[in-house]
Amino acid sequence: MDYKKLADLLYPNVDKTIDDYEKMYPERNLSEDAIVARFAPSPTGRMHMGNLFASFIPETFAHQTNGIFILRIEDTDDKRAIENGTELILEDLKAYKYKVDEDPINGGAYGPYIQSKRKDIYSTFGKYLVSIGRAYPCFCSEEEIAHIREIQTEKKDRIGYYGKYAKCRNLTYEEIEEKIKNNEPWVLRLKSNGDFNRKIIFKDLIKGTIEIPENDIDHVLIKSDGIPPYAFAHVVDDYLMRVTHVTRDDSYISSVPYHLEIWKSFGFKVPKYAHILPLNKKEGETIRKLSKRKDPEAAVSFYNERGIPEEAVKLYFATLLNSNFEEWYNANPNSNISDFTFTFDKMSKSGSIFDIDKLISISKTYFSRLKAQDLYNLIIEQSKQNNNQ
Ligand code: GLU
């Protein structure tokens, strides 16, 4: 098959190349050990403690190394997005004095920082994968996909579009041309060359070395409306934003083999990944995830209303981030968070328990160390805020 011809057939209007984008977003002029990290939420509403902690991590590592902290809005799943979602997130980050270097509202040289505005970029990268034979169009309808799933369930086979189930994988150029002429909708799929019976060895900054089966599923890279699901979008964005460290929720760990396959199909250097365990809550003998629905202390407003300053919450986050922080903080009464050097390997591998009593106790220590004038200013500030509420 002439893959270049196929790429032009599928993307006749894409005239840019990856090279063009690499020139637009050149490697950053930073020192070798500087960390470029991002917080990449969906714009679904106000921050809660879970994502405030999740953003504390890249912000801390980026600035500790004189790097860059990016806020990228992932709004490709528009069902959950709310209209002013980006503004609310930025407002909450600013209230906690996180230094956001690049974001969708104030911009930066590596934007747009909102995925729905990056469609042309994704098409260019998709076109490239077609041109090297690593992606193909799939015309299967939702009903056909559901049917494949039924057969797999019946046969107790793995679910997914792979191997003999991937029927569009072997369409000829002529068959594809015919379908395109008939305006049949299509999605772009990865042509996986993985083998489920082989394992990849992957080094996570927090969890250490992990072995997981290779990906062999021809996942959807770009949907028929030109919008990519998370996997493809994050690879393209993290590459062009020159992100060095991907810190994200631990729930993505099982998708790592697929994500690595995308990185490698482009031939790009893979950034470091750090998968963060969620904040947990202890309820009697059981441990469960801190929930923004069930737990009032999961809301950021909970702390404002009780006069617990942002700095105290951050000190608590610092103790969760590195187990040796607290001892250091107690031994260094005149220091603050930015004087401490955090490392990924001192993060919990089993998940942290969110302990409100400890947070309050740290808050007390913080207050006790404030100079009279600073304490006065803080109280005035809090009274003003509470009067406005
Ligand atoms: N948008 C993803 C989420 O909210 C972010 C994942 C990532 O940080 O890569 O879960």
Is the model's pLDDT at 13 over the cut of 90?
Answer: yes
pLDDT mean over 75-79: 80
Query: Which residue's CA is the closest to the ligand 1 atom numbered 5?
Result: 40
276 lines ligand 1 (CB under 6 A): no
CB 92 within 8 A of CB 300: yes
271 lines ligand 1 (CB under 6 A): no
Q: How many CB atoms lie within 10 A of CB 349?
A: 12
Please list the residues that pair with 188 across neighbouring strands: 137, 222
Helix (H) or strand (E) holding 317: helix 310-321
How remote is the CA of residue 42 from the centroid of ligand 1, in Å?
A: 7
Mean per-residue pLDDT of the chain: 94
CB 274 within 8 A of CB 205: yes
Quick one: tokens of 209? 């070395």
Give the model confidence (pLDDT) of 326-346 as tens digits: 999 999 988 889 999 999 999
Give the model confidence (pLDDT) of 167-224 as tens digits: 999 999 999 999 999 999 999 999 999 999 999 999 999 999 999 999 999 999 999 9
Helix (H) or strand (E) holding 200: strand 199-204
Q: What whole-number distance in Å separates Cα of residue 199 and Cα of residue 203?
A: 13
CB 250 within 8 A of CB 63: no
Residue 375's pLDDT is 87
Residue 221's pLDDT is 98
Residue 88's pLDDT is 94
How remote is the CA of residue 73 from the centroid of ligand 1, in Å?
A: 9
Please list the residues that pair with 276 across neighbouring strands: 249
Query: Which residue's CA is the closest to the ligand 1 atom numbered 9?
Result: 248
How remote is the CA of residue 5 from the centroid of ligand 1, in Å?
A: 35
Is the model's pLDDT at 286 over the cut of 70?
Answer: yes
How remote is the CA of residue 32 from the centroid of ligand 1, in Å?
A: 26
How remote is the CA of residue 86 from the centroid of ligand 1, in Å?
A: 14
Q: What whole-number distance in Å separates Cα of residue 151 and Cα of residue 268?
A: 37
275 lines ligand 1 (CB under 6 A): no
Give the model confidence (pLDDT) of 224-256 as tens digits: 999 999 999 999 999 999 999 999 999 999 999
Nearest in space to 54 (alpha carbons), one of 66, 64, 36, 40: 40
77 lines ligand 1 (CB under 6 A): no
Pocket test for ligand 1, best of 42, 82, 244 (most atoms within 8 A of CB): 42
Helix (H) or strand (E) holding 86: helix 85-95
Is the model's pLDDT at 388 over the cut of 80?
Answer: no
The amino acid present at 251, given as its one-letter code, is S
Residue 389's pLDDT is 58
40 lines ligand 1 (CB under 6 A): yes
Residue 374's pLDDT is 87
Pocket test for ligand 1, best of 48, 59, 230, 289 (most atoms within 8 A of CB): 230
Helix (H) or strand (E) holding 8: helix 3-10
41 lines ligand 1 (CB under 6 A): yes
